[in-house]
């Protein structure tokens, strides 16, 4: 670790140990293509739905923020790898932009310049001794596959799953010799939110479309796993998916309230895992569709495709929700929250991991995102973010408790390496352990980054 990081004695003095976390644990940081890359037209990249979203809708209150520049990672990726090295991270989770590889989302052509960008990135990561975790879809559907003018509707079109599987196989063919950890999609539940409400592309605002989009997305995931496994002979390749979970707690300990919380958990979160690990959907999901008259087109054989074996499961965790008898959110003022309004409750993280592990036969788990948007204070070139240190400390401790309770968690990746574009909230919510100056895009490791680097160094030293 460079002297610059070592010299922060005040932080170093209070570095906790996480003794129950295994010594071969992978400590990392996460990002996503649209949130950091910028360069929307470079080297033949095709537009994606977020380019369009910002052009059409913008976001009231957040000025002209969009992904055109983001963190200019496309130009400054060398520098970002240096940061990963300085932090002493074991792994780097990033996503690839589908429309850099296939500008219209479909084969058979390949935009080699786009693919080369990721190939160089992966080579440099490996040279730095950093394990790449790749996610093939972090919300940036190629616009040509989801464009009202040409009649395409993204995940609502079943054939988009075939195009996705084709792209996934192509990626494995070219990068599978160097990348072992592959995730198909990031957070289907949030992708689906883009179909049922505003605030996320494509912002269809049609609740009736949610489950169909979710089902087709899971089907695309299953087809992609089949195609990737057929495209590689490398036995070190491990295929998974990244799901997000929030604890759903009943507001009152009444039967009605508890039942509402269970329903919400099943219809928002558990149905993805049921589909993936059990090849069926919970009855509450089917009931909800029937009660609302929402047609769910599940064809013969779909569930078997969805339930391909998973080599690992990525879990993203941020917060918990408290619901009333009707299943609606109840918010109380007396709990700590992040700038997203998300309640900070690390014990709920441990509880959720333990619950999932008790209810399902989980494959090895990697925490693929966890972090907080909180207020930073910059003084004389130093970025202080004690609240983020507290948040990370509490959550890594909770994760350790889950490991003690028997959950097979093998890695933790903080969201996020960089202050980046928080989707429709623009740059107004910063999650980074590295500050990015919005004027000159210079990077400064925050106190939380220094703290995290020291946690990792201490953990390795012990091993």
Considering only residues 423, 427, 451, 452, which one is a binding residue for ligand FCB as defined by CB under 6 A?
Answer: 423
CA distance 435 to 431: 9
Concatenated DSSP letters of 265-331: HIIIIIHHHIIIIISS--HHHHHHHHHHT------TTHHHHHTPPPSEEEEEEEEEEEE-TTS-B--
The tokens for 19 are 């003794």
182-190, 323-331, 384-392, 398-406 -> range binding ligand FCB (CB under 6 A): 182-190
Q: Does 415 bind ligand FCB (CB under 6 A)?
A: yes
Q: Does 269 bind ligand FCB (CB under 6 A)?
A: no
Residue closer to ligand FCB by CB (options 247, 369) is 369
39-47, 66-74, 381-389, 415-423 -> range binding ligand FCB (CB under 6 A): 415-423
The reply to whether omega before 108 is within 30° of 0 (cis) is yes
105-113, 184-192, 277-285, 377-385 -> range binding ligand FCB (CB under 6 A): 184-192
Considering only residues 187, 302, 376, 400, which one is a binding residue for ligand FCB as defined by CB under 6 A?
Answer: 187
Residue closer to ligand FCB by CB (options 248, 289) is 248
Residues in a beta bridge with 379: 382
Here's the x/- map for ligand FCB, 304-343, by CB under 6 A: it reads as ------------x---------------------------
Residue closer to ligand FCB by CB (options 67, 161) is 67
* CA distance to 61, 158, 327, 443, per residue, from 372 (Å): 21, 35, 25, 18
* CA distance to 190, 394, 433, per residue, from 59 (Å): 18, 33, 25
Residue closer to ligand FCB by CB (options 302, 422) is 422
Q: Strand pairing of 377-379 and 365-369?
A: unpaired
Considering only residues 32, 84, 209, 273, which one is a binding residue for ligand FCB as defined by CB under 6 A?
Answer: 32
Q: Does 189 bind ligand FCB (CB under 6 A)?
A: no
Residue closer to ligand FCB by CB (options 31, 216) is 31
Give the binding-site size for ligand FCB (rule: CB under 6 A).
12
Residues annotated as part of the active site:
187, 369
Nearest to 414 by CA among 437, 433, 429: 433
Q: How far is the CB of 368 from ligand FCB (least distance, A)?
A: 9
Considering only residues 77, 431, 451, 452, which one is a binding residue for ligand FCB as defined by CB under 6 A?
Answer: 431
The tokens for 222 are 């299953």
What are the backbone dihedrals phi and psi of residue 377, each rounded to the nearest 5 degrees, phi first?
-120, 120
Residue closer to ligand FCB by CB (options 35, 96) is 35
CB 194 within 8 A of CB 186: no
Residue closer to ligand FCB by CB (options 90, 369) is 369
Considering only residues 244, 308, 338, 430, which one is a binding residue for ligand FCB as defined by CB under 6 A?
Answer: 244
Work out the burial of residue 217: count CB atoms within 10 Å of its CB; fewer than 13 is exposed, 13-18 middle, 19 or more buried.
buried
Q: How far is the CB of 286 from ligand FCB (least distance, A)?
A: 26
Q: How many CA atoms lie within 13 Å of 1's alpha carbon, on the beta-carbon side?
A: 21
The tokens for 412 are 């933790």
Residue closer to ligand FCB by CB (options 142, 371) is 371
Cβ neighbours of residue 171 closer than 8 Å, sequence gap 6 or more = 96, 101, 115, 134, 136, 228
* CA distance to 12, 19, 266, 307, 450, per residue, from 9 (Å): 5, 22, 47, 50, 10
171-179, 186-194, 319-327, 357-365 -> range binding ligand FCB (CB under 6 A): 186-194
The tokens for 221 are 């995931």
CA distance 144 to 417: 30
Q: Does 50 bind ligand FCB (CB under 6 A)?
A: no
**Residue of closest CB approach to ligand FCB:** 32
Considering only residues 1, 81, 190, 441, which one is a binding residue for ligand FCB as defined by CB under 6 A?
Answer: 190
Q: Does 422 bind ligand FCB (CB under 6 A)?
A: yes
Considering only residues 369, 376, 400, 447, which one is a binding residue for ligand FCB as defined by CB under 6 A?
Answer: 369
Site residues (vs ligand FCB, CB under 6 A): 32, 35, 186-187, 190, 244, 316, 369, 415, 422-423, 431
């Amino acid at each position: 670790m460079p002297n610059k990081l070592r010299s922060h004695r005040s932080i170093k003095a209070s570095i906790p140990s996480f003794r129950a976390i295994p010594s071969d644990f992978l400590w990392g940081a996460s990002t996503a293509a649209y949130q950091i890359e910028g360069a929307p037209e470079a080297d033949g990249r095709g537009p994606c739905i977020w380019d369009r979203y910002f052009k059409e809708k913008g976001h009231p209150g957040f000025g002209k923020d969009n992904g055109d520049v983001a963190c200019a990672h496309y130009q400054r990726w060398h520098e970002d790898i240096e940061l990963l090295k300085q932090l002493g991270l074991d792994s780097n989770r990033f996503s690839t932009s589908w429309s850099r590889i296939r500008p219209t989302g479909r084969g058979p052509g390949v935009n080699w310049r786009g693919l080369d960008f990721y190939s160089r990135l992966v080579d440099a990561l490996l040279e730095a001794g950093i394990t790449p975790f790749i996610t093939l879809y972090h919300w940036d559907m190629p616009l040509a596959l989801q464009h009202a003018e040409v009649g395409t509707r993204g995940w609502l079109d079943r054939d988009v799953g075939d195009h996705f599987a084709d792209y996934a196989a192509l990626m494995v063919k070219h990068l599978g010799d160097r990348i072992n950890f592959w995730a198909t999609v990031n957070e289907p539940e949030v992708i689906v939110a883009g179909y049922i409400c505003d605030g996320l592309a494509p912002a269809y605002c049609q609740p009736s479309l949610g489950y169909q989009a979710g089902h087709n997305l899971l089907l695309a995931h299953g087809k992609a796993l089949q195609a990737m496994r057929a495209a590689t002979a490398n036995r070190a390749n491990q295929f998974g998916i990244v799901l997000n979970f929030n604890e759903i707690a009943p507001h009152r300990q009444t039967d009605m309230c508890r039942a509402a919380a269970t329903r919400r958990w099943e219809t928002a979160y558990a149905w993805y895992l049921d589909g993936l690990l059990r090849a069926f959907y919970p009855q509450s999901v089917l009931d909800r569709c029937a009660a609302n008259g929402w047609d769910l087109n599940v064809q013969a054989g779909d569930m078997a495709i969805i339930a391909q074996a998973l080599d690992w499961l990525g879990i993203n965790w941020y917060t918990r929700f408290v619901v009333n008898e009707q299943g609606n959110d109840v918010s109380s003022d007396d709990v700590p929250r992040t700038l997203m309004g998300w309640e900070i409750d690390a014990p709920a993280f441990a509880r959720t991991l333990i619950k999932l592990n008790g209810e399902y036969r989980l494959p090895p788990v990697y925490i693929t995102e966890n972090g907080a948007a909180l207020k930073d204070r910059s003084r004389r070139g130093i970025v202080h973010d004690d609240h983020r240190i507290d948040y990370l400390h509490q959550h890594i401790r909770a994760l350790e408790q889950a490991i003690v309770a028997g959950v097979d968690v093998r890695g933790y990746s903080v969201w996020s390496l960089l202050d980046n574009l928080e989707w429709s909230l623009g740059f107004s919510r910063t999650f980074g352990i590295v500050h990015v100056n919005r004027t000159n895009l210079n990077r400064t490791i925050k106190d939380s980054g220094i703290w995290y680097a020291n946690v990792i160094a201490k953990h390795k030293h012990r091993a």
